[in-house]
């Protein structure tokens, strides 16, 4: 039993990357990040999984995330801020030699909004592969 528990703890730390942030009070507040997927000896990257969660309770403000890679773009919204559920999970497929994924986090109206991101790169067979730290391009 202990072996299984240790394995689960180790696996959960490797399978996803987390980031939290706060969007300012202006309706146009937007955070903008980029990350790179790479082969870390687990295999070449095939896609990026991404989901966002609004963490501010008692607000009508909804947090959304968009991911762009090459000519592909995908968007997801957390329609109930403050609960423990994330938005639908995005899967953005790796395009050509473009290993850079850009992520935009925004909201649908005025008011400060805290959020959490979960993201990770995977191979075509679903194995976690190299995922860089987020590069902050704009924090509002």
| Domain count for the chain | 1
CATH code where residue 24 lies: 2.60.120.510
- Structure tokens given for 91: 């899967």
7, part of any domain:
no
| pTM for this predicted structure | 0.83
61, part of any domain:
yes
98, part of any domain:
yes
Per-residue pLDDT of the chain in tens (140 residues, 90 and over written 9): 444 333 333 333 345 688 999 999 999 999 999 999 999 999 999 999 999 999 998 778 999 999 999 888 999 999 999 999 999 998 998 877 668 999 999 999 999 999 999 999 999 998 999 999 999 988 88
**For the residues of 51-114, what is the DSSP string, one character each?**
EEEE--SS----EEEEEEETTEEEEEEESSTTSSPPPPPEEEE-BTTB-EEEEEEEESSSS-EE
Q: Find tokens 């000519």 and name the residue.
A: 71
12, part of any domain:
no
Alpha-carbon span 136 to 35, nearest angstrom:
9
Domain, as residue range, for 36? 17-138
3, part of any domain:
no
């Amino acid at each position: 039993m202990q072996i299984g528990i240790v394995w689960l703890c180790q696996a959960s730390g490797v399978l996803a990357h987390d980031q939290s942030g706060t969007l300012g009070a202006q309706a146009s507040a937007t955070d903008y990040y980029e990350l790179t997927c790479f082969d870390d000896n687990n295999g070449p990257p095939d896609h990026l999984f991404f989901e966002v969660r609004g963490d501010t309770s008692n607000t009508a403000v909804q947090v959304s995330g968009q991911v762009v890679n090459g000519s592909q773009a995908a968007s997801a919204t957390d329609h109930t801020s403050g609960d423990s559920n994330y938005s639908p999970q995005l899967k953005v497929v790796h395009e050509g030699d473009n290993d850079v994924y850009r992520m935009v986090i925004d909201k649908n109206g005025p008011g400060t909004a805290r959020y959490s991101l979960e993201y990770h790169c995977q191979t075509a067979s679903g194995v976690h592969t190299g995922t860089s730290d987020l590069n902050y391009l704009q924090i509002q």
